[in-house]
Amino acid sequence: MNTHKYFFPAVIVLCGMVLGLITLTSSPRVTLAASSVAVEEQLNPLQITALSSSYPPAIQQWEELISRHATQYGLDPNLIAALILQESGGNAQAYSTSGAVGLMQIMPRDGIAQSFMCNDHPCFQNRPSMQELYDPQFNIDYGTRYLANLISKYGDEREALYHYGPYDTGYRYADTVLAIYSTYQ
């Protein structure tokens, strides 16, 4: 009897069950990390290119981090650079009036964002802290993983960017980032 033909499918089922348990029993931060495995497998690594040298120096200074994390999550570094250019202009210490922090302008769990309520609890309670988000390496990793998961969830970059950006701008934000992306590709 050939038992090896059942081994691979059993391993796949077991891995799926473990990932399912992680997703059901963990915080959104762990869920985001676990779901990035699925994102990495879905995106075509052949689509990944080098960061364009035409980006301004404020973006070029982050080239190594942008390229590393974009590649890790299966995204084009130029898309991440376009988002950073739009969000912070490459300023790792950027802080918006809405409370978003760092290069990719992510809402933290603390600061003024802790007072934003959603269904009787803080909207961003499972997000990283401001201190974590001011670290460029952490910010680019978290923001890139977040965007990759949105692309996986919504199926395209424009829809993902719509959900990444400010809620009061409609698709203008997404279209602006995509225009920057197109300009520097």
User: Out of 2-16, 53-67, 83-97, which region has the weakest mean confidence (pLDDT)?
Assistant: 2-16
Q: Which two three-digit tokens encode residue 162? A: 């719509």
pLDDT of residue 19: 41
Using the predicted structure, report yes or no on whether residue 22 has a pLDDT greater than 60: no
14: Cα within 13 Å, side-chain hemisphere: 6
Arithmetic mean of pLDDT over the chain: 77
User: Out of 23-32, 80-89, 94-103, which region has the weakest mean confidence (pLDDT)?
Assistant: 23-32
pLDDT of residue 107: 83
Q: What residues act catalytically?
A: 87
Using the predicted structure, report yes or no on whether residue 101 has a pLDDT greater than 90: yes
Using the predicted structure, report yes or no on whether residue 2 has a pLDDT greater than 60: no
Enclosing H/E stretch for 159 = helix 157-164
User: Out of 24-33, 82-91, 149-158, which region has the weakest mean confidence (pLDDT)?
Assistant: 24-33
pTM exceeding the 0.75 threshold for the entire prediction: no
- All domains in the chain, ordered by first residue: 43-184 (1.10.530.10)
Q: How far from 50 is each of 17, 60, 76, 141, 150, CA to CA, in Å?
A: 36, 12, 8, 17, 22
Using the predicted structure, report yes or no on whether residue 36 has a pLDDT greater than 90: no
Distance CA 73, CA 129 (A): 22
Distance CA 100, CA 133 (A): 9
Contact 174, 158 (CB under 8 A): yes
